[in-house]
Structure 1
Amino acid sequence: MSRFAKLLFVPLVAPLLAGCNAVVLAPAGDIAVQQRDLIIIATVLMLLIIIPVMVLVVLFARKYRKGNNAQYEPNWDHSTQLELVIWSAPLAIIICLGAVTWVSTHLLDPYRQLGRLGPDRPVVAEVEPLEVEVVALDWKWMFIYPQYDIATVNELVAPVDRPIEFKLTASSVMNSFYIPALAGQIYAMPGMQTRLHAVVNEPGTYKGIAAHYSGHGFSGMHFAFKGVSNAEFDTWLADVRTSPDMLNRQRYLEVEKPTENVPVMHFAGVESGLYTAILNMCVERDKMCVSEMMSIDQQGGLGHAGVNNLAPELYGGGERNRSPFGPQKTYVAAICSTDEAIAMTAKLPALKAPNAAPLVGKGLTRPEMVAQSNAPALDWLAGKLAFNQNTPADAL
Structure 2
Amino acid sequence: MRMKWTFLGLIISIIAVLAGCEPVMVMDPKGPQAETISNVIWISIATMALVVVVVFGMLAYIVIKYRASKQSADYEPPHIEGNPVVEAIIVGIPVLIIIFLSIITVKSTYEVEATPKGYEGQKPLVVYASSSDWKWHFSYPEENIETVNYLYIPTDRPLEFRLYSYGPITSFWIPQLGGQKYAMSDMVTTLHLAASVPGEYMGRNANFSGKGFAENIFHVEAMPESEFDKWVEEVKATADTLTEERFEELLVPGHLGQLTFNKTHLEFSPAPEGEHGGHQHGSSNSDDKAKKDESTDVDGGSDMEHQH
State the TM-score, normalizing by the size of structure 1: 0.66
TM-aligned CA deviation for residue 158 of structure 1: 0.8
Query: Which is further off, 49-58 or 234-243?
Result: 234-243
TM-aligned CA deviation for residue 128 of structure 1: 2.1
* Paired position in structure 1 for 2:229: 234
Describe the SS at the equivalent of 1:34. helix
TM-aligned CA deviation for residue 249 of structure 1: 2.2
1:184 aligns with 2:204: no
* Separation of aligned partners in 1, 2:94 and 2:128: 45
* Paired position in structure 1 for 2:305: none
* Paired position in structure 1 for 2:304: none
TM-aligned CA deviation for residue 157 of structure 1: 1.0
Q: Please say if residues 144 and 150 of structure 1, whose CA atoms lie closer than 8 Å, have aligned partners that are also in contact.
A: yes
Q: 2:293 aligns with which of 310, 323, 330?
A: 323
* Paired position in structure 1 for 2:51: 49
Q: Please say if residues 203 and 218 of structure 2, whose CA atoms lie closer than 8 Å, have aligned partners that are also in contact.
A: yes
Describe the SS at the equivalent of 1:241. helix
* Separation of aligned partners in 1, 2:167 and 2:299: 23
- 1:124-273 counterparts in 2 under 5 A? 125=121, 127-260=122-255, 262-271=256-265, 273=267
* Paired position in structure 2 for 1:98: 102
* Paired position in structure 1 for 2:303: none
Q: Deviations over 1:113-163 (max 9, x none)?
A: 33x2xxxxx3263x3210000011111111000010000011111111100
* Separation of aligned partners in 1, 2:271 and 2:89: 61
TM-aligned CA deviation for residue 97 of structure 1: 1.9
Q: In structure 1, what residue type is equivalent to 2:119?
A: V
TM-aligned CA deviation for residue 91 of structure 1: 2.6
Describe the SS at the equivalent of 2:241. coil
- 1:333-352 counterparts in 2 under 5 A? none
Change beyond 3 A, Cα 1:321–1:50: same
Q: Deviations over 1:11-36 (max 9, x none)?
A: 34434323222111111010010111
* Separation of aligned partners in 2, 1:244 and 1:61: 72
Describe the SS at the equivalent of 1:182. coil
Q: Structure 1: state its 5+ residue gaps.
A: 117-121, 289-317, 331-396
TM-aligned CA deviation for residue 72 of structure 1: 7.1
Q: Structure 2: state its 5+ residue gaps.
A: 301-308
Describe the SS at the equivalent of 1:97. helix
Aligned residues: 290
* Paired position in structure 2 for 1:73: 77
* Separation of aligned partners in 1, 2:294 and 2:76: 86
Q: 1:123 aligns with which of 107, 119, 123?
A: 119
> Which structure has the higher relative contact order (CA within 8 Å, separation 6+)?
2
| Deviation >4 Å, runs of 4+ | 282-288, 324-330
State the TM-score, normalizing by the size of structure 2: 0.83
Q: Once superposed, what is the RMSD of the aligned Cα atoms?
A: 2.9
TM-aligned CA deviation for residue 56 of structure 1: 1.0
